[in-house]
Amino acid sequence: MTDCTVLLVDDEVEFVEALADRLEARGLHVVKAHEGKAALDAAEGRVFDAIVLDMAMPGMDGLETLEGLLKINPDLQVILLTGRATLEQAAAAIRIGALDLLEKPAEIETLVAKIELAATRRWAMEEKRIEEKVADIMRKKGW
């Protein structure tokens, strides 16, 4: 899938660089952040087709970052990555609004498939919002 923009958030710089290279080799555009606050700042200024977010980060962890991201834009499609999540954490992530939770190291094909699903969901939500706006305009104009 090309023309898909992904925000990749992980405090492990080498991991982010390697994963970004792999995603970019598959035609994805990647923006990198190394902490929760940087992810929130990035999400304030642009729309991402998917966000790949590490669960365990110092300071603001993945769940806190997820909550902050969804406050900025409830339509964001977030995939959490973890090396050691508990069942409780996984359930909390889904309850908060994560699209999915994958265990590190995730197979690149699996991750790309999840990113494509996220992008498709985001595009469908955007299309629905546009259709609702057009319908509202038509109603107000009496057409």
pLDDT for 3:
80
Q: Given its phi and psi angles, is residue 134 left (phi above 0), alpha (psi -120 to 50 degrees) or beta?
A: alpha
Query: Domains of the chain: which residue ranges?
Result: 5-141
Residue partners of 65: CB distance under 8 A and separation at least 6: 9, 36, 39, 40, 53, 57
Residues in the chain: 143
Decide if 66 contacts 78 (C-beta within 8 A).
yes
pLDDT for 111:
96
Residues in a beta bridge with 5: 29
pLDDT for 42:
96
For the segment(s) 5-141, the CATH number from 3.30.930.10, 3.40.50.2000, 3.30.390.50, 3.40.50.2300 is 3.40.50.2300
pLDDT for 50:
97
Check: pTM over 0.85? Answer yes or no: yes
Residue position matching structure tokens 């359930």: 91
pLDDT for 1:
55
Could you say which residues of the chain have pLDDT below 70?
A: 1-2, 85
